[in-house]
A and B are shown apart, each in its own frame.
Chain A
Amino acid sequence: MAATARDLSNVPSVITLTGVNKWYGQFHVLSDINLDVKEGEKIVICGPSGSGKSTLIRCINRLEEHQAGDIVVDGVTLSNDVKNIEAIRREVGMVFQSFNLFPHLTILDNLTLAPIWVKKMPKKEAEEIAMSLLKRVRIPEQALKYPGQLSGGQQQRVAIARALCMRPKIMLFDEPTSALDPEMVKEVLDVMIELAREGMTMLCVTHEMGFARAVADRVIFMDRGEIVEQNEPEAFFANPRNERTKLFLGQILHH
């Protein structure tokens, strides 16, 4: 079950964060973050609420703006240049806690929108790709329905397919299972595990520790805007070094 500790030292990095800082007003939400993500690496980020973990991954595709430090994604340095931001967003797919499907469009239109408008893909080709992705997340029969007609788990799988439709190099997951009823968590995690096994680079904010053990190359623990501890999953769960990590793991694992 456990991911074997892979040697990633020779693999090129796709995301590099150097000295990233961010404040909301006076509140220091990200404090001196340094992070290097290798190609194909799967990282699980956990931590208490308000620790800045969502903010961290939202900085990577510029949904949030960082105020100091450098973020390099796939060779492009994030700046205020709209062209840069759009270039990065084409390579980075994102899945949200609240799905954020477009309720006025059918499932198929949700999937084909970005390929058609951003990548200028012919409609037919985009629809073929969309259908193959819907098959992969096991809901091709829902293609012509609207998001409101689907269950939460189905909606989140559509959201994953929608992000994959752009053929991204990197996938960001912002608590993808937190808004789901318990019986639907597994169907979404199964899709994510499958995706991980296919070699996608993934950054995933989640408290699903089973998922972390199964696929993560590295687990990062954040608290008060800092990366407190990071390690491969076995070691991370077996013997956390930092007191705050121990406390947090104690709270989420024993109840």
Chain B
Amino acid sequence: MTDLPVGERKPLAPPVDDSGLVGWARRNLFSSWGNGITTVVLFAAIGWVVSWFVEWAILTANFTASTGAECRGYGACWALIREKLRLIFFGTYPYEQQWRPLLAVVAMLAMLIATSDRRMWRPWRLLAIWSVGSFVTFLLMFGQLHIPLSLFLFAALVIGLGGLAFRRQVGSAGEVNAYRALVAIGVIGIGLRFAGILPAWKLGIAPFSFVETGQWGGLPVTMILATYGLVFAFPYGILLALGRRSNLPLIKGLCVGFIELIRGVPLISLLIMASVMLPLFLPTGVTFDKFLRAQVAVILFAGAYIAEIIRGGLQSLPKGQFEAADAMGLNYFQKTTLIILPQALRVVIPPLINTFIGFFKDTSLVLIIGIFDFLNTANQALVDPAWAGYPGEVYLFAAFVYFVFCYSMSRYSKHLEIELNKGTRR
């Protein structure tokens, strides 16, 4: 076909690879003597490890023993996991009430899965998902909720401000006035509450027995610390990153100072400060829940890291994007939320999810201040003398659960990258 004159040649299909599995193996695994030997040795090694593991973990494992002594002579003692499963997952939560943390975990998973769907990424939908999900989660965990009036006022203020920020330009007059009314109610109400004119009224919802945070343990604790830690740290990190790029020296200085300070200390020291030193500075009688203090420490810490990642994304954008947005007459807020952040966040999905995964695992450090997260309750399962001597099984199981969560996040990150870049790449 190449003997046709120039200009009349037709495009040809690329050559087809028809050599099959054997051809693929020859090219990729046995292309030379050295490669062939390496392949054989590695396959033998992998085969040996896998066969040993299968024999230990499945073929000779004991699933039914009722004490550790009965496991002697067998491979893995999975009976221990069976026996301690509820302790590992729910810690010291009252035994007969443990259906509640189980449902709380289900509620949180449902909330996270719903959030991971891009069709839900609308302010109102997210607000609905997270308020319902959080309400259910904490109602189940605590058993009773007493929501103070000021929280409602604060919610009205936040919703009103958010609505004004996003919808003032595009919403109808009635809608915008509704936001103004919400802001006014929030501001006036909180002012009156502080002045002591409004009473300390609380909305009490008490369908179950009350379980304080000190009795919480296991997977729900890890999930709450990680989920709410990151959910609050994320917007907070965005604000820090924007603040760090601000032209106003005071804001910039505060943000830089905060980020450097938090990044400069280990999470453990921050947790210890939150649990031991903070109460010393508070006036007597004022106490914060230990769990809440740990949660705040995680938020502050994660926020600083997320801020630096997002700053990287902001810096990767060409200057022209900022200029084009400016030249159109968009104000700072519109420019940031419509043009800059959507692009910057897209760029930083891989490092962001990397940090999320890191923090999911780092929450296990709260065991230092006596909170029973998942890894800590797994540890507790080893304390029972009747089951002494099988730490491998317990840690392997804990590792497996962590892996399921982290691997899901990793896959989701990959999926999101492809999804968001659909159309924007040729």
Residues of chain A at the chain B interface (Cβ within 8 Å):
61-63, 82, 86, 89-90, 92-94, 96, 98-104, 106, 113-114, 116-118, 120, 123, 145-149, 162-163, 166
A117 touches B327 (CB 8 A): no
Contacts A100-B320, A104-B346; A114 near B328 (Cβ below 8 A): yes
Q: B2 near A: Cβ within 8 Å? A: no
B424 touches A118 (CB 8 A): no
> Which residue of the partner chain B has the closest CB to A113?
B338
Contacts A86-B329, A114-B330, A117-B338; A102 near B321 (Cβ below 8 A): yes
Contacts of A113 in B (CB 8 A): 328, 330, 338
> Which residue of the partner chain B has the closest CB to A96?
B320
B330 touches A63 (CB 8 A): no
> Which residue of the partner chain B has the closest CB to A93?
B327
Contacts A96-B320, A145-B423, A148-B424; A116 near B328 (Cβ below 8 A): no
B326 touches A63 (CB 8 A): yes
Contacts of B426 in A (CB 8 A): 148-149
Q: B342 near A: Cβ within 8 Å? A: yes
B320 touches A61 (CB 8 A): no
A100 to B327, CA, bound (A): 11
Choose among A93, A100, A101, A117 the residue that contacts B169 (Cβ–Cβ < 8 A): A117
A103 to B425, CA, bound (A): 9
Contacts of A96 in B (CB 8 A): 320, 323-324
Q: B334 near A: Cβ within 8 Å? A: yes
Choose among B169, B327, B343 the residue that contacts A103 (Cβ–Cβ < 8 A): B343
Q: B392 near A: Cβ within 8 Å? A: no
CB distance from A43 to the nearest CB of B (A): 18
Contacts A96-B320, A98-B320, A103-B343; A89 near B169 (Cβ below 8 A): no
B327 touches A89 (CB 8 A): yes
11 intermolecular pairs with C-beta atoms under 8 Å apart: A61-B326, A89-B328, A92-B327, A94-B324, A101-B324, A104-B343, A113-B338, A116-B170, A120-B169, A120-B170, A148-B424
Contacts of B324 in A (CB 8 A): 94, 96, 100-102
Contacts A102-B339, A113-B338, A166-B328; A149 near B423 (Cβ below 8 A): yes
A230 to B324, CA, bound (A): 29
Q: B318 near A: Cβ within 8 Å? A: yes
A98 to B331, CA, bound (A): 22
Nearest first, the 4 A-B pairs at minimum CB distance are A100-B324, A89-B329, A100-B320, A114-B328
Contacts A63-B323, A96-B323, A116-B170; A103 near B424 (Cβ below 8 A): yes
A94 to B320, CA, bound (A): 12
Contacts of A120 in B (CB 8 A): 169-170
B331 touches A86 (CB 8 A): yes
A166 touches B329 (CB 8 A): yes
A100 to B322, CA, bound (A): 9
Further contacts, 9 of them, CB under 8 A, given A103-B424, A120-B169: A63-B326, A100-B318, A102-B339, A104-B424, A113-B328, A114-B330, A118-B169, A147-B424, A166-B328
> Which residue of the partner chain B has the closest CB to A90?
B329
Contacts A100-B320, A104-B343; A94 near B170 (Cβ below 8 A): no
A100 touches B326 (CB 8 A): no
CB distance from B144 to the nearest CB of A (A): 45
Contacts of A116 in B (CB 8 A): 169-170
Give B66-92 interface residues, CB cut-off 8 Å to A.
none
B327 touches A61 (CB 8 A): yes
Per-position binary interface string of chain B over residues 317-358, scored 1 when its CB falls under 8 Å from any chain A CB and 0 otherwise: 010110111111111001000110011001000000000000
A104 touches B342 (CB 8 A): yes
B342 touches A89 (CB 8 A): no
A147 to B170, CA, bound (A): 25
Contacts of B325 in A (CB 8 A): 102
Contacts of A103 in B (CB 8 A): 343, 424
CB distance from B64 to the nearest CB of A (A): 56
A98 to B321, CA, bound (A): 10
B327 touches A63 (CB 8 A): yes
Contacts of B323 in A (CB 8 A): 63, 96, 100
Contacts of B346 in A (CB 8 A): 104
A98 touches B318 (CB 8 A): yes
A99 to B323, CA, bound (A): 11
A148 to B424, CA, bound (A): 5
A114 to B169, CA, bound (A): 11
A146 touches B329 (CB 8 A): no
Give B399-426 interface residues, CB cut-off 8 Å to A.
423-426
A92 to B323, CA, bound (A): 13
Contacts A63-B326, A63-B327, A117-B169; A146 near B321 (Cβ below 8 A): no
Contacts of A146 in B (CB 8 A): 423-424
Give B206-227 interface residues, CB cut-off 8 Å to A.
none
A63 to B324, CA, bound (A): 9
> Which residue of the partner chain A has the closest CB to B420?
A104
A118 to B318, CA, bound (A): 23
CB distance from A244 to the nearest CB of B (A): 30
A118 touches B329 (CB 8 A): yes
Give B164-183 interface residues, CB cut-off 8 Å to A.
169-170
A116 to B338, CA, bound (A): 12
CB distance from B392 to the nearest CB of A (A): 48
> Which residue of the partner chain B has the closest CB to A101?
B324
A146 to B422, CA, bound (A): 9
CB distance from A119 to the nearest CB of B (A): 9
CB distance from B349 to the nearest CB of A (A): 13
B329 touches A114 (CB 8 A): yes
